[in-house]
């Protein structure tokens, strides 16, 4: 007991010998490096010691906790740093209950840690305190977006745009949610509006190119946007990776792989750049190279759903069907809104005769992309294999309505119609 008292006294005397004013300046005006964090931590330790802590009032301590929280939150994605930062912002909120900046900073730290519901709760508190700030709605919209709730993200981002229609970043953020919901026309409109307000941001052109590309039939326009993005920011890796995809669709020989290489060179830690290069290598029958890229993408970002989908495609082509099913399942777990993994896995189930499982996958794919005619054809074929002719006829009819030029839809409809005639059963009244 005596020894503990002596140690505590020695620590107190040692801390007292430090310069509180010097530490305060280093903490609150530092660059976020180790020295600034150490200075903040010394003040925090002094503040917890009776008598010595009296030299710091609540306002000064709030500034110290805010500074250390920002330093730690900005260091990276280390969980320990984020945990401490979140605790520091919480102390600021208790010391200065009216400090809205601390709520905003804590929400950002929660979001970085992956605790989206906590982030949204803090941002909702901010909106409740001041519902006139467009930036608060935008921040909550982006939190919903990162969580994967694009419906709520669109509501908040639309509110932010109504309140501040001149901010291009709100529009490009809403464009991303429209794109993820496959509403490509609205996404293109929002991205174009952002470009009209601020034509010098390369990422705005990449966003529009993404939707043009996904909409189909707009490869030339997408390429023009990506060329402009690269002109504005030559080192933007994602622009080069997207350009590689466009060149592949345009069947440009040699160029796609070189462009994909540039994307990886510019950002070697980008899982997306690795997946793009891997898919182009796979298309060129360079399977070992593709496998290396997909594995590296997963190592770089274990939550990158597209990397698992890409590796699943490769494994399916190589005959590793169990491995492919595992990869498609992981992609779906990480992002249930994806269509490709459901279609790939559904096709594999159908090949194995597991038509009920295939039917489930195609139904989930349709739920995510209800306007894709090919998905109804896939499901119709599974219904057909199970002898569910009315359901098959319905799906072929929907597919034919969505794309009258699709041979598989018309041929499938005629085939099932003939099966009804041969069986003597009346065709369902809803099918012309």
Residue 12 predicted with pLDDT over 50: no
CB distance 208 to 225 below 8 Å? yes
Look at residues 36, 38, 32 and name the one whose alpha carbon lies nearest to residue 15: 38
pLDDT in tens, 179-236: 988 899 999 999 999 999 999 999 999 999 999 988 877 889 999 999 999 999 999 9
pLDDT band per the 50, 70, 90 thresholds, residue 68: confident
Mean of per-residue pLDDT scores for the chain: 86
Q: How far apart are CA 347 and CA 357, in angstroms?
A: 10
Q: CA angle at residue 200 from 196 to 205, to 5 degrees?
A: 70
pLDDT at 20: 60
pLDDT in tens, 411-425: 888 898 888 777 766
pLDDT at 47: 64
pLDDT at 430: 61
Look at residues 310, 304, 305 and name the one whose alpha carbon lies nearest to residue 278: 310
Rg for the chain (alpha carbons), in Å? 28
Q: How far apart are CA 69 and CA 108, in angstroms?
A: 11
Residue 137 predicted with pLDDT over 90: yes
Q: How far apart are the first and last CA of the chain?
A: 92
Compute the residue count for the chain. 432
pLDDT band per the 50, 70, 90 thresholds, residue 150: very high
pLDDT in tens, 294-341: 999 999 999 999 999 999 999 999 999 999 999 999 999 999 889 999
Look at residues 193, 220, 197 and name the one whose alpha carbon lies nearest to residue 207: 193
Q: How would you write the chain as a 3-class SS string?
A: CHHHHHHHHHHHHHHHHCCHHHHHHHHHHCCCCHHHHHHHHHHHHHHCCCCHHHHCCHHHHHHHHHHHHHHHHCCCCCHHHHHHHHHHHHHHHHHCCCCHHHHHHHHHHHHHHCCHHHHHHHHHHHHHHCCCCHHHHHHHHHHHHHHCCHHHHHHHHHHHHHHCCCCHHHHHHHHHHHHHCCCHHHHHHHHHHHHHHCCCCHHHHHHHHHHHHHHCCCHHHHHHHHHHHHHHCCCCHHHHHHHHHHHHHCCCCCHHHHHHHHHHHHCCCCHHHHHHHHHHHHHCCCHHHHHHHHHHHHHHCCCCHHHHHHHHHHHHHCCCHHHHHHHHHHHHHHCCCCCHHHHHHHHHHHHCCCHHHHHHHHHHHHHHCCCCHHHHHHHHHHHHHCCCHHHHHHHHHHHHHHCCCCHHHHHHHHHHHHHHHHHCCCCCCCCC
Percent of the chain with pLDDT over 70: 88
pLDDT band per the 50, 70, 90 thresholds, residue 9: very low
Phi-psi region for residue 76, left (φ > 0), alpha (ψ -120 to 50) or beta? left
Q: How large is the average pLDDT for residues 228-248?
A: 94
pLDDT at 337: 87
pLDDT at 409: 86
Residue 165 predicted with pLDDT over 90: yes
At 344, list the tokens.
């790939």
Q: How large is the average pLDDT for residues 227-253?
A: 91
């Amino acid at each position: 007991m005596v020894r503990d008292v002596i140690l505590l006294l020695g620590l107190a005397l040692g801390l007292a010998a430090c310069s509180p004013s010097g530490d305060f300046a280093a903490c609150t005006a530092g660059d976020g490096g180790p020295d600034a964090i150490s200075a903040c931590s010394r003040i925090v330790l002094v503040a917890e010691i009776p008598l010595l802590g009296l030299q710091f009032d609540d306002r000064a301590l709030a500034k110290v906790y805010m500074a250390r929280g920002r330093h730690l939150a900005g260091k990276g994605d280390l969980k320990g740093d984020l945990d401490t930062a979140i605790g520091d912002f919480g102390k600021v909120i208790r010391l200065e209950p009216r400090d809205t900046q601390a709520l905003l900073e804590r929400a950002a730290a929660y979001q970085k840690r992956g605790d989206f519901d906590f982030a949204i709760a803090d941002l909702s508190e901010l909106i409740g305190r001041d519902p006139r700030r467009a930036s608060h709605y935008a921040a909550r919209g982006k939190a919903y977006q990162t969580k994967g709730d694009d419906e709520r993200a669109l509501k908040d981002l639309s509110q932010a745009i109504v309140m501040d229609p001149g901010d291009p970043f709100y529009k490009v953020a809403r464009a991303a949610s429209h794109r993820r919901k496959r509403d490509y026309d609205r996404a293109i409109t929002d991205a174009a509006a952002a470009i009209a307000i601020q034509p010098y941001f390369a990422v705005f052109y990449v966003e529009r190119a993404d939707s043009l590309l996904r909409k189909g039939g707009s490869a030339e326009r997408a390429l023009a946007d990506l060329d402009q993005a690269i002109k504005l920011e030559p080192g933007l890796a994602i622009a080069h990776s997207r350009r590689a995809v466009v060149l592949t669709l345009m069947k440009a020989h040699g160029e796609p792989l070189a462009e994909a290489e540039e994307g990886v060179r510019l950002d070697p830690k980008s899982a997306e750049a690795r997946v793009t290069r891997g898919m182009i290598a796979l298309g060129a029958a360079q399977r070992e190279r593709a496998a290396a890229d997909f594995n590296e993408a997963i190592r770089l970002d274990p939550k990158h759903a597209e990397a698992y989908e890409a590796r699943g495609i490769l494994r399916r082509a190589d005959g590793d069907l169990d491995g492919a099913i595992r990869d498609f399942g992981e992609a779906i777990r990480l992002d249930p809104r994806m269509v490709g993994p459901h279609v790939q896995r559904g096709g594999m189930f159908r090949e194995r005769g597991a038509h009920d499982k295939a039917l489930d996958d195609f139904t989930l794919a349709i739920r995510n992309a209800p306007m894709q005619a090919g998905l109804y054809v896939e499901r119709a074929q599974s219904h057909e294999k199970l002898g569910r002719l009315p359901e098959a006829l319905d799906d072929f009819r929907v597919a034919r309505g969505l794309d009258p030029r699709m041979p598989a839809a018309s041929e499938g409809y005629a085939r099932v119609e003939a099966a009804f005639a041969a069986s003597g059963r009346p065709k369902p009244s809803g099918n012309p």
